[in-house]
Amino acid sequence: MYEFIQKFHSGWAYLALLLLVIAVVNALIGLVSKQEFTAKDRKIAIFGLIGTHTQLLIGLILYFVSDKAFSSFGLIGMGEVMKNSALRLTAVEHPLINIIAITLITIGWSKHKKLTTSESKFKTFAIFYGLGLILVLSRIPWSLWFK
């Protein structure tokens, strides 16, 4: 079961990342070209939100069914986990930073609903989704992606 969830999490990451990049690029194009915010733009943003939330859910399931995360803490202790950069990335940094990133994306989605102008909606998506994207990219375990 762990293997399936891990592969699903890795595979879905490509889709979630693509949807997030599309949402950020769309927001930047809309902001720069001063376009009107339409239903298409809202759909692009919601797909980015759904993709990242799905990735978070899969990741949380993976984290809690993994014997690696908790046995690492129990067998070698948290101090040793923090000294090992590869283990620290997968057990601490990746989950924590991505939860923060998805929180920013969710805040961006929530804030846009209260805004009235197209410029402010595009700007909100560009900022919050963009920050989320940067955080996600900063904590992807790239060495595991290209094995």
pLDDT per residue of the chain (147 residues) written in tens, 0 to 9: 888 998 999 999 999 999 999 999 999 999 999 999 999 999 999 999 999 999 999 999 988 887 655 555 555 567 777 887 777 887 788 999 999 999 999 999 999 999 999 999 999 999 999 999 999 999 988 777 665
The count of domains in the chain is 1
Nearest of 50, 16, 44 to residue 122 by alpha carbon:
44
Nearest of 53, 59, 47, 58 to residue 19 by alpha carbon:
47
In this structure, the number of other CB atoms found within 10 A of the CB of residue 10 comes to: 15
Interhelix angle 2-32/118-138, nearest 10 degrees: 140
Instruction: Residue 124: give the domain boundaries.
Output: 1-146
The DSSP output letter for 91 is: I
- Residues 6 or more apart whose CB falls under 8 angstroms from that of 33 comprise none
